[in-house]
Amino acid sequence: MKKLSLIVMSLSHMFIDIYNNVLPVLLPLFVLQFSLSYTQVGLVVALFSISSSLVQPIFGFISDRWRTNWFLPGGILGVSILASLLGLAPNYSFLMVAIGLMGISSAIFHPRGLTSASLASGERRGLGVSIFTLGGNIGFALGPILAAFVVLHWGLRGTVFLLIPGIIITALTFYLRRHFYQVPQRELRTEKEHPFSQLPLSEFLVLCSLVTLRAWAVQGIVAFLPLYLQNREVPLHMAGNLLSAFLFSG
């Protein structure tokens, strides 16, 4: 196990998911600034979800076939820059473009990041990937707290300060990027040996359905809980803390 590589990958995953979850705390401020309806808020959330998830297989396909170790620092840098610009958005259209590009930057990072964490883990792949995943989960839970802290002290335009840790972790990942790349040895498989040939399709579809339903519920709470609490006259920084507490609970 390459401990340094795995630690850096896990930290990178943590920071990129911190940025991925600052939006819910900022949404109530965007509602006030741009007079957004709940439909427009939903479109913002949907755009980020689609751009950050549905295009991941494309970048996974690319990273399997070409040398894409630049995906790691590039994805982190893209997300951190775009997250820092959210508070400077002059209008709703700019916000939508920034959110879409931010989601794509996140999608660039994750397939290559998971592969690199797996390779760095050596024979202890289960442990290594779980540490990498834990880093992302911690970051996703910390995002609302960090966003609330920034807004509380510097206002919406304070998101520019989010760029500082992004540059640091990008530089570290860029410096170590050669250690994250390894050409996998391709093995020829017969039809019977193909991993999908014995896949229980019905059970797989049921599992995908359950995961999808859970994601809908969790994403709905994450996106709209701060808005709901704001309408109940809960301070925004407290709403961010409560959202993080919800995410830390599981």
The per-residue pLDDT for range 194-214, each reduced to its tens digit, is 555 566 778 878 888 888 888
Rounded to the nearest 10°, the torsion over CA 209, 215, 217, 219 is: -160
Residue 186 placed within a domain:
no
Task: Report yes or no: 221 and 22 within 8 Å, Cβ to Cβ.
Answer: no
- Max Cα–Cα distance, the chain, nearest Å: 63
Task: Report yes or no: 170 and 77 within 8 Å, Cβ to Cβ.
Answer: yes
Residue 104 placed within a domain:
yes
CB-based contacts of 136: which residues, under 8 Å, 6+ apart? 13, 14, 16, 17
Domain that holds residue 173: 3-181+199-248
Residue 194 placed within a domain:
no
Residue that is written with structure tokens 């991993």 in the block: 195
Q: How far is CA 248 from CA 14, 135, 140, in A?
A: 13, 12, 9
Residue 192 placed within a domain:
no
C-alpha dihedral sign at 129, 132, 136, 139: positive
Residue 190 placed within a domain:
no
* Domain count of the fold of the chain: 1
CATH code where residue 146 lies: 1.20.1250.20
The tens place of each residue's pLDDT in the chain, 250 residues long, gives 578 888 888 999 999 999 999 999 999 999 999 999 999 999 999 999 999 988 888 888 888 787 777 888 999 999 999 999 999 999 999 999 999 999 999 999 988 888 888 887 777 888 888 999 999 999 999 999 999 999 999 999 999 999 999 999 999 888 876 665 554 444 444 444 555 556 677 887 888 888 888 888 888 889 899 999 988 999 999 999 999 999 998 6
Residue 96 placed within a domain:
yes
Residue 97 placed within a domain:
yes
The two structure tokens encoding residue 154: 């510097």
> Which residue intervals of 3-70 are DSSP H helices?
3-20, 23-34, 38-53, 56-65
Provide the whole-model pTM. 0.86
